[in-house]
């Protein structure tokens, strides 16, 4: 396979552009990144030890998934203390050391904030459930039963079953859009909003550079508790009661926008703080644009377009990027091909025999997109989905919906750092999930030593993106999209870069005159001017 080195950059990043605009961000799932103490679970000191690997990739920032104090029923997304580190991950001092080291390496630090719900062990909820008169009685969503004793609405939980659980102390139901151990906060309450903004200020004061706001469209509900209507039969597979409803009233309340404005106002006080919303669901595109509109909302939104797609085609890419045109008032997108909740892309998008070639094509396409790109740990190695047997499952959703829901555990397996059996240098103990034999063979040390590896290619492509404004900040135009060939053009100032991607397993000859003559910046899988072998891709700096 041919892989050409990137040429010297034609342009330098613009100094007046915020650091996050066009950034490449590396997602770290703490449980699975690096274990420093041998208990089989990754931790903050382990992250600090391995940050040089991340910095060498050429990314701009890290995003660290939840590490807060938690009973871990949903592995950190059930927070019991927003302002402390869970002991399995370390201490606040360990967090401070991680931030310090990241900044020394030129990396910004972003963290998750989970505001839609807490753990049922959070002191706020423990006080709220005592009775209907305490100081935090209205900090969560409580409601009386219907006259027949049934739940106050027909709302369903994402993880299966009713979204309401009876609490005998209050003689009321409480709402939980996810696990019953994740009670829904009442973010309509100004005191709750103030408390959440206080949490954000706590981490900003510790040097955090940005936030991913988890499940933000679940933050507020319809206070009148109207029933959701049934979802029409659109041909999509339904595996949970949640899938049978249009989620109109249990989420997506318009007052979320007012809270977002308060978040932006606070973050602006600290300078160039990056804020990105995670938004899923039937109305995701509309909500993402509303959450990022203008200069008084969030900086970006994190979409699900690619995360659950079962194939990658030129038309699909064209449709996804078309949702975010470069026009005034439209927000700035953030893209991910993989994350801790979605199956590994190579396992979804190509057959076993094509994975090596497809991984190279995928890396070049990803680094050519307009917006921020979020690289999930191990994606730079070409990790694939690991099959986890039922008896080893940790994921509560997969256990509850077995065998209809694909386990998230298969994408959360530990990072292989060195080629050795079992633990792959991730831990000196027993890893909390198996690494998978296929992924062990893709360890960091093996790929670092191989100039033609996916790791080294990804590093070159990320640096190419970082050093060329057309790729990082430029406009995005689809020149051609058919069953096999995707051709794009990125333009910034006087620089124009064309990208040609053969997303098929057959050779492609591109139409004459499709792109202008110029200088080759990068090539994968034997691509040359005019011809793209199977999964071939080429970047050309065009003469203007």
Same domain, 161 and 267: no
Same domain, 242 and 301: no
Q: Is 16 exposed, middle or buried (0-12, 13-18, 19+ CB in 10 A)?
A: exposed
Looking at residue 508, which CATH number applies to its domain?
2.60.40.1180
Q: Considering Cα of 111, then 116, then 118, then 123, what sign does the dihedral take?
A: positive
Same domain, 47 and 167: no
Same domain, 385 and 430: yes
Neighbours of 202 (CB within 10 A): 13
Looking at residue 80, which CATH number applies to its domain?
3.20.20.80
Predicted local distance difference test score (pLDDT) of residue 282: 84
Predicted local distance difference test score (pLDDT) of residue 400: 78
Same domain, 89 and 130: no
9 contacts 471 by C-beta, under 8 angstroms: no
Same domain, 105 and 86: yes
Domain count, the chain: 3
Predicted local distance difference test score (pLDDT) of residue 389: 86
426 contacts 439 by C-beta, under 8 angstroms: no
Predicted local distance difference test score (pLDDT) of residue 160: 87
Predicted local distance difference test score (pLDDT) of residue 442: 97
| Half-sphere CA count of 133, side-chain side, radius 13 A | 0
Bond into 403 cis (ω within 30): yes
Same domain, 376 and 421: yes
278 is catalytic: yes
Which strand ranges, in their side-by-side order, compose the sheet holding 142-143? 142-143, 172-175, 164-167
Looking at residue 179, which CATH number applies to its domain?
3.90.400.10
Cα separation, 456 vs 453, whole angstroms? 5
Domain assignment of residue 400, yes or no? no
Same domain, 113 and 231: no
Predicted local distance difference test score (pLDDT) of residue 403: 74
Cα separation, 18 vs 29, whole angstroms? 26
Sequential DSSP letters for 428-463? SS--SS---HHHHTT-HHHHHT-TTSHHHHHHHHHH
Same domain, 291 and 339: yes
Cα separation, 100 vs 97, whole angstroms? 5
Determine the distance from the C-alpha atom of residue 521 to the mean position of all C-alpha atoms in its chain, rounded to a whole number: 28
Domain assignment of residue 288, yes or no? yes
Domain assignment of residue 132, yes or no? yes
**pLDDT tens for the 544 residues of the chain, in order:** 333 333 333 334 466 899 999 999 999 999 999 999 999 999 999 999 999 999 999 999 999 999 999 999 999 999 999 999 999 999 999 999 999 999 999 999 999 999 999 999 999 999 999 999 999 999 999 999 999 999 999 999 998 899 999 999 999 999 999 999 999 999 999 999 999 999 999 999 999 999 999 999 999 999 999 999 999 998 888 888 999 999 999 999 999 999 999 999 999 999 989 999 999 888 899 999 999 999 999 999 988 999 999 999 999 999 999 999 998 889 999 999 999 999 999 999 999 999 999 999 999 999 999 999 999 999 999 999 999 888 888 888 777 777 766 789 999 999 999 997 679 999 999 999 999 999 999 999 999 999 999 999 999 999 999 999 999 999 999 999 999 999 999 999 999 999 999 999 999 999 889 999 999 999 999 999 999 999 999 999 999 8
Domain assignment of residue 469, yes or no? no
Cα separation, 487 vs 16, whole angstroms? 30
Same domain, 274 and 413: yes
Predicted local distance difference test score (pLDDT) of residue 15: 65
Rounding to the nearest 10 degrees, give the CA dihedral for residues 47, 366, 409, 436.
-80
Domain assignment of residue 3, yes or no? no
Predicted local distance difference test score (pLDDT) of residue 14: 62
| Residue 386 DSSP symbol | P
Predicted local distance difference test score (pLDDT) of residue 2: 38
Residue of 60, 214, 379, 409 with catalytic role: 214
Domain assignment of residue 6, yes or no? no
136 contacts 127 by C-beta, under 8 angstroms: yes
Please list the residues that pair with 481 across neighbouring strands. 486
Beta strand pairing call for 81-85 and 68-69: antiparallel
24 contacts 367 by C-beta, under 8 angstroms: yes
Cα separation, 29 vs 102, whole angstroms? 16
Same domain, 203 and 135: no
Beta strand pairing call for 142-143 and 172-175: antiparallel
Determine the distance from the C-alpha atom of residue 281 to the mean position of all C-alpha atoms in its chain, rounded to a whole number: 15
Domain assignment of residue 45, yes or no? yes
Neighbours of 331 (CB within 10 A): 21
Same domain, 236 and 278: no
- The residue segments making up the domain with residue 240 are 119-186+225-248
214 is catalytic: yes
The secondary element (H helix, E strand) that includes residue 262 is: helix 256-268
Three-class SS state of 348: helix
Residue of 35, 43, 78, 278 with catalytic role: 278
Domain assignment of residue 268, yes or no? yes
Cα separation, 488 vs 366, whole angstroms? 12
Predicted local distance difference test score (pLDDT) of residue 399: 77
């Amino acid at each position: 396979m041919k892989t050409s080195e990137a040429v010297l950059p034609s342009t330098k990043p613009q100094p007046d552009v915020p650091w996050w605009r066009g950034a490449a961000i590396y997602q770290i799932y703490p449980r699975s990144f690096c274990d420093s103490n041998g208990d089989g679970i990754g931790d903050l000191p382990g992250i600090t030890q391995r940050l040089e690997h991340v910095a060498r990739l050429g990314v701009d920032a890290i995003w660290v998934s939840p590490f807060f104090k938690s009973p871990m029923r949903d592995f950190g997304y059930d927070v019991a203390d927003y302002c402390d580190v869970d002991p399995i991950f370390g201490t606040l001092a360990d967090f401070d050391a991680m931030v310090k080291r990241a900044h020394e390496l030129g990396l910004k630090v972003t963290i998750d904030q989970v505001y839609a719900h807490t753990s049922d062990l959070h002191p706020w909820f423990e006080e709220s459930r005592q009775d209907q008169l305490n100081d935090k009685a209205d900090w969560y969503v409580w409601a009386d039963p219907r006259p027949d004793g049934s739940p106050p609405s027909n709302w369903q939980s994402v993880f299966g079953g009713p979204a309401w659980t009876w609490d005998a102390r209050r003689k009321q139901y409480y709402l939980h859009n996810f696990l019953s151990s994740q009670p829904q906060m009442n973010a309509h309450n100004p005191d709750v909003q103030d408390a959440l903004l206080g949490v954000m200020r706590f981490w900003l004061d510790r040097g955090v550079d940005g936030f991913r706001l988890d499940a933000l469209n679940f933050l507020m509900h319809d206070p009148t508790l109207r029933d959701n209507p049934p979802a029409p039969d659109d041909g999509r597979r339904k595996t949970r009661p949640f899938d049978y409803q249009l989620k109109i009233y249990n989420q997506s309340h318009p007052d979320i926008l007012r809270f977002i404005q308060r978040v932006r106002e606070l973050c602006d006080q600290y300078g160039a703080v990056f804020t990105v919303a995670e938004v899923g669901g039937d109305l995701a595109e509309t909500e993402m644009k509303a959450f990022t509109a203008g200069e008084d909302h969030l900086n970006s939104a994190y979409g699900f377009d690619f995360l659950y797609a079962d194939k990658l085609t030129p038309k699909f890419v064209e449709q996804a990027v078309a949702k975010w045109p470069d026009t005034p008032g439209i927000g700035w997108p953030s893209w991910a091909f993989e994350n801790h909740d979605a199956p590994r892309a190579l396992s979804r998008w190509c057959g076993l025999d094509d994975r090596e070639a497809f991984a190279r094509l995928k890396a070049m396409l990803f680094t050519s997109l307009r917006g921020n790109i979020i690289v999930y740990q191990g994606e730079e190695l070409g990790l694939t989905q690991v099959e986890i047997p039922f008896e080893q499952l940790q994921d509560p959703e997969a256990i509850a919906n077995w065998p209809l829901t694909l386990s998230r555990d298969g994408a959360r397996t530990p990072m292989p750092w060195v080629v050795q059996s079992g633990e792959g240098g991730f831990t000196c103990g027993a890893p909390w999930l198996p690494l998978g034999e296929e992924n062990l063979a893709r360890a960091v040390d093996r790929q670092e030593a191989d100039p033609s590896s996916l790791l080294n290619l990804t590093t070159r492509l990320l640096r190419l993106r970082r050093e060329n404004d057309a790729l990082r900040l430029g406009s995005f135009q689809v020149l051609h999209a058919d069953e096999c060939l995707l051709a794009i053009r990125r333009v910034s100032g006087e620089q124009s870069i064309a990208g040609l991607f053969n997303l098929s397993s057959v050779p492609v000859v591109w139409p004459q005159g499709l792109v202008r003559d110029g200088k080759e910046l990068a090539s994968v899988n034997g691509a040359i001017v005019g011809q793209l072998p199977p999964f071939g891709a080429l970047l050309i700096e065009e003469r203007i």
